[in-house]
Chains A and B, each alone.
Chain A
Amino acid sequence: MCRLVAITSNEYLSPMEGVLSLETMHEGHDGSGMGLILKNLGGEFSELKNYPILSGICSNEGLRVLDQFMWDAGFHIKYEWRPVLKPVSSIKKRAHYFAKVYEYPEDFIDKSLTEKEDLLLRTRLALRAIGENNQSIIVFSFYPDVIAIKEVGDPLQLSEFFGLTDSRLKSKIIFAQGRQNTNYDINLYACHPFFIQGFGSMTNGENTAFGPIKEYLTSRGVTGYVGYDSDSEVFTHILHFAVRQLGYPLQYYKDIITPLKASEMERRLDSGVLALLKASLRPLCIDGPNMVIGFTPDGTCFMAHDSKKLRPGIVGGTKGRIAFVSEECGLDSVVPDRDHSLDIFPMKYDMVIVSPGAEEVRVWNQLYGWTTTIN
């Protein structure tokens, strides 16, 4: 089972906070890999918030191809961050790890954000396609103010390998996951958190409804609904589909993945809508056992579960610093001096939504509506 930690804060944090939290949960993961997504970046990136950042790994040849491709596509490099790698015996080093900041191609500078997002997605997918067969190019994200780092190995050793302990790399949102997707072949594209156009998520547990959900998503005609090296990637794409493509408020994500029974819907003022959504989005209903932690482009973070098998998950913290973790000991590591009585163990009807900057913690209950616990 994966161990997950997400931290959202009103101040810039070192990714080590996430890694150390994972370490406290070490008994629950096999140390087979780590995925990190950092959002709302600080340090040198705080001046580059409107420029897209390409995160990935390349071989020597792959880097040459990538640079040429990006040049040809009109993306001119503005800044590049590379981790200061330290040799760690158990980590197999690849040639180039990078986060490259680009300027948009000239003819896209004045385009809308939606058009820019589509360009970034198409570009990332093209790079993925070029390098997928020989793993010469592996790209995880291409989006402003977001960096993704993934590698095989123990999270603590990986953080040493990437030099994260001394790095100036900081962010207000940290998503960290401590395990490769060991249910399948080791493949970095199967490593959580997954990301698409500002939306990201990571998940605990195997998704038994993966087949029909994948089939439904891939037949939406939406660019980017590809990959699925992990059954958990669909959770990110359901989020993207519901909020970006359909324009639904975030809390309806919960109503889509775990629709209420007809008798339960009657309590809701929007019961008519719920019935329509339940039928129309029937293939997106999940059957667990899953716990999903995700974020949206504005920096809102959330946690939600399936409606039955409920993988563990807890949300807690203080105003300005909230963590979402798969085990309580992980939360104690991130926010030890919190009011434990405000810890939230979301259950089958709940979705915990934390506003950007961790200003407000609200629980959306499908039956009873909103409860604010911290604001």
Chain B
Amino acid sequence: MESTVRLDHNHQLTVRDFPYIVKWRDDRCKRCGRCTSVCPMLAIEPSIVLQREVRSEGVIPEPKLSRKIVNIIKQVTDIERYCNGCGTCTLVCPNEAIEPEYNPQHKFIFHKNTGGYPYRRGGRRNDPEPSTLDHLKFTRISMLTDPALDAGRHEFRIRSYLGRILPPGELPIKIENGKLEINRLTKRFMPPVREIYPVMIGSMSIGALSPNMWEGLAMGVAYLNEVEKMPVVMASGEGGMPPRLLKSRFIKYFILQIASGYFGWDEIIRAIPHMVDDPCAIEIKYGQGAKPGDGGLLMANKVLKLIAEIRGVPQGVDLPSPPTHQTKYSIEESVAKMIQSMSMAWGFRVPVFPKISATRTAKAVLNNLLRNPFAAALSIDGEDGGTGAAYNVSMDKMGHPIASNIRDCYLDLVKQGKQNELPLIAAGGIGKKGNVAANAAALFMLGASVVAIGKYIMQAAAGCFGDEMNRCNVCNLGKCPRGITTQDPKLYRRLDPDKVAERVVEVFKSIDVELRKIFAPLGRSTELPIGMSDALCADNAAIAERLQIGYVC
């Protein structure tokens, strides 16, 4: 008889406690070992079991008992080696013998705090419900009183402005012989303004992303600009850029981000005298929608040689950026000074704008920026944005949805008659359910001038496994099985930058077609329908009331 001590597994977890249960089929598995070798979490391992077999041979059944040792694939029940459901095992299995299955009864976050460390991860908010944006639809369809446009044949101008736009009364123009001319005698500061595609790739750093992923995105963006003539821009995220890119003519397609850690800015400052063109803009990151009030975080296992060089830090150390800029003690002075300093670094030729987490205080930020003539835009990142590393509680429980935040800010601008002066950039959850163009168009109609996408492009261009059921989400560990958010060459070798670039181009061309398919029936083609909320309705009365748009059912 076994001792009760040996039967007591009371302090162990069962696979039922885990978010994903690995379904392995003995009859299909040929024991090639691919699944166990690719599992980023080491959640499955080859194991052996002793099997008891009763067999009957011969004409008259005569059961014989035998025991044999069998090789199996076993899911481990170590909380640190949980199956994250990424499905890389399924991807590589030649016989469809293995697949993780979501377990809705899991108790993962009850246990994922060993050592007193709360659960940290990458990804996005684990909320599989449709976002507010997916409750919106376009209901002002041009019918008999005005003809709809032809999305395929009419000319569309899907462009937006990034930069402070002067109201007509402040333009430096004069009338001369019945014509308007630029008044060159005026001392008025002319803010730099870029004409860009209204959907941009949001900030994701080299460091958070693998070199192959970043290179693929950058190549795709360059192709879109140079060949497709679509002025799509991409933001760098915190952590600098390869010096070669900084000094190339392609820098004009990139928005450089400066964040509270100032990582990478030694290299950027050193590169300024050698730059042949200006960057598209400078983004000062004050907040991030996925983890509001938290600084950036690049964990030690991603700080390898290349990243250490670009960021100017030692290898293998955690790189936490402070939650706020150390110099920031008031928006009136410090933020204004920072905007001016960054503007000055490029001779006031580059738009400089802050990015904040969506928050109930966004209007206060907006109004302060309105009074700062050098502030080029306000970027607001909603709670459905993504991140490479954060505490689970920050991602799931902190933050503000983007839709109502943008709407409030836009209506505030309208109240002041400044809706065309300070562009609003919206981010966070655009394309959460795959409806990227529809979500973007809805945000334009709520008042955004530009939208930024991050997770969507990672999923569409590189096949990121992550979702709102906590699938994968190990971006923080440097173990990305797709090679997107890792600095491990063994992993990022899997990702072909050319294929990523090709997908980026395909994705943006398809967004462009879908935007036309939305704008054409609304009868809009020559300007982005910013604030055209009469075209927008919600299928939920509370959402409609909150956003001050129509309700349809």
A contact set with B: CB distance below 8 Å? 183, 205-206, 208-212, 215-216, 219-221, 246-249, 252, 258-259, 261-262, 269-270, 272-273, 276-277, 279-283, 285-289, 307-309
Contacts and interface: CB of A to CB of B under 8 A. Distances in A.
Given A212-B530, A273-B182, 16 more contacts: A208-B142, A209-B524, A211-B534, A212-B532, A221-B417, A246-B168, A249-B175, A261-B157, A273-B180, A280-B171, A280-B420, A283-B531, A287-B523, A288-B146, A308-B149, A308-B154
Interface in B497-553: 522-527, 529-535
B420 A282 contact: yes
Given A211-B531, A277-B171, A289-B147, A216 B165 contact: no
A215 B525 contact: no
Given A280-B166, A280-B420, A248 B180 contact: yes
A308 B526 CA distance: 9
Nearest to A208: B523
A219 B416 contact: yes
A206 B145 contact: yes
B531 A262 contact: no
Given A221-B417, A308-B525, A208 B533 contact: no
A335 B201 CA distance: 59
B415 interface: yes
A273 B165 CA distance: 13
A276 B531 contact: no
B275 to A, nearest CB: 24
B171 A212 contact: no
A209 B182 contact: no
Q: Which of B154, B161, B195, B523 has the largest count of A CB atoms less than 10 A from its CB?
A: B523
A204 to B, nearest CB: 11
A246 B169 contact: yes
Given A215-B419, A220-B417, A208 B522 contact: yes
A209 B180 contact: no
B180 A252 contact: yes
Nearest to B413: A219
A258 B146 contact: no
Contacts of A279: 161, 165, 193
A211 B166 contact: no
Interface of B: 140, 142, 145-147, 149, 154-155, 157, 161, 165-169, 171, 173, 175, 178-182, 193, 195, 414-417, 419-420, 522-527, 529-535
Given A210-B534, A289-B146, A219 B180 contact: no
Nearest to B530: A212
Contacts of B149: 308-309
B420 A208 contact: no
A279 B167 CA distance: 9
A249 B145 contact: no
A282 B171 CA distance: 14
Given A220-B417, A221-B417, A283-B420, A270 B179 contact: yes
Contact of B419 (A206, A216, A269, A286): A216
A347 to B, nearest CB: 15
Contacts of B155: 308
The 10 closest A-B pairs by CB, nearest first: A208-B523, A219-B417, A206-B146, A211-B534, A285-B527, A273-B180, A212-B531, A206-B145, A272-B182, A280-B168
Contacts of A246: 168-169
A212 B411 CA distance: 12
A280 B165 contact: yes
Nearest to A250: B178
Nearest to A255: B180
B173 A287 contact: no
B533 to A, nearest CB: 6
A183 B166 CA distance: 36
A11 to B, nearest CB: 28
B165 A211 contact: no
Nearest to B156: A308
Contacts of A209: 524, 527, 529, 532
B146 to A, nearest CB: 4
Contacts of B167: 280
Given A210-B534, A249-B179, A258 B526 contact: yes
Nearest to A214: B534
27 contacts: A211-B531, A212-B531, A215-B414, A215-B419, A221-B417, A246-B168, A246-B169, A252-B180, A262-B195, A269-B179, A270-B181, A273-B171, A273-B180, A273-B181, A273-B182, A276-B166, A276-B182, A277-B171, A279-B161, A281-B168, A283-B419, A283-B420, A285-B526, A287-B523, A288-B146, A289-B147, A309-B146
A283 B146 contact: no
A282 B527 contact: yes
A235 to B, nearest CB: 14
Contacts of A280: 165-168, 171, 420
Nearest to B172: A276
Contacts of B182: 272-273, 276
Contacts of B414: 215, 219
Contacts of A276: 166, 171, 173, 182
Nearest to A242: B168
B529 A212 contact: yes
A283 B414 CA distance: 11
A277 B175 CA distance: 14
Contact of B526 (A206, A211, A307): A307
B151 to A, nearest CB: 13
A210 B178 CA distance: 29
A41 B533 CA distance: 43
Nearest to B415: A219
A247 B146 CA distance: 32
A286 B146 CA distance: 13
B25 to A, nearest CB: 58
B408 to A, nearest CB: 15
A283 B142 CA distance: 20
A306 to B, nearest CB: 8
B532 A211 contact: yes
Given A219-B419, A285-B527, A211 B533 contact: yes
Contacts of B525: 287, 308
B168 A283 contact: no
Contacts of B195: 262
Contacts of B140: 208
B193 to A, nearest CB: 6
B12 to A, nearest CB: 62
Contacts of A212: 529-532
A333 to B, nearest CB: 26
Contacts of B527: 209, 282-283, 285, 287
B145 A216 contact: no
Contacts of A216: 417, 419-420
A210 B168 CA distance: 20
Contacts of B145: 183, 206
Given A212-B532, A215-B531, A279-B161, A249 B524 contact: no
A309 B526 contact: no
A290 B313 CA distance: 61
A247 B533 contact: no
Contacts of A258: 526
Given A270-B179, A282-B420, A277 B168 contact: yes
Q: Which of A208, A211, A270, A287 has the largest count of B CB atoms less than 10 A from its CB?
A: A208
A282 B182 CA distance: 19
B100 to A, nearest CB: 48
Contacts of A261: 157
Nearest to A259: B526
Contacts of B535: 211
Contacts of B417: 216, 219-221
A287 B178 contact: no
Contacts of A270: 179-181
Contact of A288 (B165, B169, B415, B523): B523
Contacts of B522: 208
Nearest to B140: A208
Contacts of B415: 219
